């Protein structure tokens, strides 16, 4: 995992926008507020960006 803190989806860094750290499958990732709803409501959109996203279901 890189030391760069950037949104998993849009790749904006923590210098450009606030990002929140989250943990999944023993790894840490970052996501910006604009894309936080994606994890909650449309996790299928993270396929290819988040390992194992194809097994996630909307909450």
Place of tokens 């849009």: 10
User: Model pTM?
Assistant: 0.85
Spatial CA neighbour of 37 closest among 54, 58, 22: 58
CA distances 41 to 16, 17, 44, 45, Å, are 24, 21, 9, 9
Q: Which two tokens stand for residue 11?
A: 């790749």
Between CA 18 and CA 43 the distance in angstroms is 20
**Contact (Cβ atoms closer than 8 angstroms) between residue 8 and residue 50:** yes
* pLDDT tens digits for range 5-27: 999 999 999 999 999 999 999 99
pLDDT band for position 59 (cuts 50, 70, 90): confident
């Amino acid at each position: 995992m890189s030391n760069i803190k950037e949104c998993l989806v849009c790749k904006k860094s923590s210098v450009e926008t606030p990002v929140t750290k989250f943990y999944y499958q023993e790894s840490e990732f970052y996501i910006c507020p604009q894309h936080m709803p994606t994890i909650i409501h449309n996790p299928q959109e993270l396929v290819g960006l988040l390992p194992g996203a194809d097994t996630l279901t909307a909450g």
